[in-house]
Amino acid sequence: MTTSPARDLPRSAARTRALYREMLRIRRFEETLYRLVSEGRIGGTTHLCIGQEAVPVGVSACLAAEDLVVSTHRGHGHLLAKGARLDRALAEIAGRELGYCAGKGGSQHVAVPALGHLGSNGITGGGLPIAAGLALAQRLRGTGRCAVAYLGDGAADTGNFHETLNLAALWRLPVVFVLENNGYAMSTPVERSSACAAFVDWADRYTGMATARVDGNDVYAVADAAAPLLERARRGDGPALLECLTYRQSGHSKSDPRVYRSRDEENAWRARDPLDRLATGHGLDAAAVAELGADVERELDAAIAAALASPPGGRELAIADLDVPALPRAPAVPRRTAAVAPGTEVSLIEALRETLHQELAADDTVVLIGEDLGCYGGAFGVTRGLEEAFGRERVRETPICENSFTGLGVGAAVGGLRPVVELMFGDFVTCCMDALVNHAAKLRYMYRGQVTVPFTLRMPVGRRKGYGATHSQSLEAWFVHVPGLQVVFPATVADAVGLLRTAIRTDAPVIFCEHKLLYPVRGAMPELDHLVPLGSARVDRPGRDLTLITYGNALSLCRAAADHLAGRGHDVEILDLRSLAPYDRDACVASLRRTGRGVFVQETNDVGGVCDRVLADVLPDVFGRLRAPLRKVGAAHAPVPSSPELEEAMMPGVRDVVRAALPLLEEY
């Protein structure tokens, strides 16, 4: 539905002066930034919003200090309008320690949580699901706040836009999407990229989504339209989209010569400049304009001096904020919540379900998010019964939109929840790499530790006799490569319980891999407080002649191979990594030094795998103690075929492990 303003923002001389000054402050900040970049005094890239100042100023005039904002790569105006200081904003872009993120976020990735600014985002449309997740957190925590997600017209063509609006409408989230339609997605005119007359026409199709379309160069019109939409969101009546028609007078970025539009078009829009319109339309005379201008210049001069005098950081700062936060102390789980008594033999599926049940009962910020989690119980039945026990607010079934519901989980984590997101198959992680690699992994780093991301992604991975090339992959090595992500892969019931509980409770994003063939594996249910630290390996079997390093489903291969080798008189040690990032380097080094021989065994193919990362990393510290070269065993470097027989033929087996180990034991 399209709404009409419930009330106008009160007009007064004082308010008009304040609005004009804020728009001028943004304008002069960006003009100065452009000059400093052009002179080479500030490096990097920058995207200016000159001409669009009425949108963030009009929206921010209606925001409470506690309301949250998620911005875009063209976000200086959103940042300053939310209350940021000029000196710290300029220092951030200049890469100086005075900056809000000490230069680690820069122009595109700055955040000031203390002001309710939860981050600018350099990925077009990338911030939309994060804003929806923040809104979900506000609703479940009962804060009464709403979230604002700024976006450009180009972002409205992305999957994140439609997926997120659908989720926000389904769940009646307190979020307002503010679309700055400046007519161009970089250089592409809107009429060439978007098959709609207006973006509100698309948003109107989502049930419960309120919409409004206004002149984005009229700051009072923006405020009058934003106020009722924000009030509606705070009341819990659902999301909205506010489309603001505006124009960027600058290019897309500093290097853009604007060859894609005419100077007549630019001049016509300059005649509708938001500062001039406010001044002439609301009685600001030349003296008042000059007075406000002088005031802004004084603030700007001081900001330039302070920002450029601040030192840049060094290597210590460059690699900071990637450590795993200390494990928080969780509330004790009442024994009455344990449906399975410690010591009871259970399958890995039952152990995971019981652990989720215990964590949901112990902490009301824990929520489950994913497809078919309710009566179906998830693709493999892990969540069966949890919706009945905790309700649909805590166990949230989603549409099939992996990137957006994963990104929503990331935003919910930043907003104070502890989401556990489930993918049906780990292969579908390819659909949500943006949410994981660009956001979950980097937000704490880019924002200089001002936010945490207590987020867990559960992924069923690996083969299962005939699932085929798109439902049988183990892609854990991809995430080991990404700084900021933790990756775990348990092989036993006890480790699955301990690592899942640790993942949920730690203030960092964790990729939790569950091999499908391990779901029936049985073991004793651990104690209620059982935790397995990240980065801790486990000696599954001690030995003195050779080390088999492994994880996940390959543990069973190593056990069988060790039994076979024992029959030939060889004492083999098995080291189960359990945690792949961080991994227990000390345990690997100690074991290889002790035995002098090593084989790394993994089920997935061994090209660029976890095996390569570990063996290359430990080699300098074990080389002098080795009695034989290190070897590795993995699957063939090919997609997994659908035929169960062909699948088995390409996978490593016990014989492969024995064949790799015997020469090391008998020829060296």
Residues designated catalytic: 402, 471
Give the pairing type, strands 631-635 and 546-550.
unpaired
**Calpha distance 405→394 (Å, rounded):** 14
**Calpha distance 450→155 (Å, rounded):** 26
φ, ψ of residue 150 in degrees (nearest 5): -80, 145
**Joined tokens for residue 330:** 């969780």
Query: Strand, coil or helix: what is 11?
Result: coil
On whether the CB atoms of residues 111 and 69 are closer than 8 A, the answer is no
* Exposed / middle / buried, residue 413 (Cβ in 10 Å: 0-12, 13-18, 19+): buried
Place of tokens 């001039």: 276
Q: How far is C-alpha 11 from the geometric centre of its chain's CA atoms?
A: 41
On whether the CB atoms of residues 511 and 485 are closer than 8 A, the answer is yes
642: DSSP letter = S
Residue 259 sits at the vertex; the CA angle it makes with 256 and 260, to the nearest 5 degrees, is 105
Length of the chain in terms of residues written: 668
Q: How far is C-alpha 395 from the geometric centre of its chain's CA atoms?
A: 20
Residue 291 sits at the vertex; the CA angle it makes with 289 and 297, to the nearest 5 degrees, is 100
Which is nearest to 600 in space by CA: 640, 652, 563?
A: 652
On whether the CB atoms of residues 165 and 242 are closer than 8 A, the answer is no
Place of tokens 């390409």: 650
On whether the CB atoms of residues 663 and 627 are closer than 8 A, the answer is no
Locate the DSSP E strands across 357-506: 366-370, 395-397, 418-422, 456-461, 486-488
* Residue 429 half-sphere exposure toward CB, CA atoms < 13 A: 24
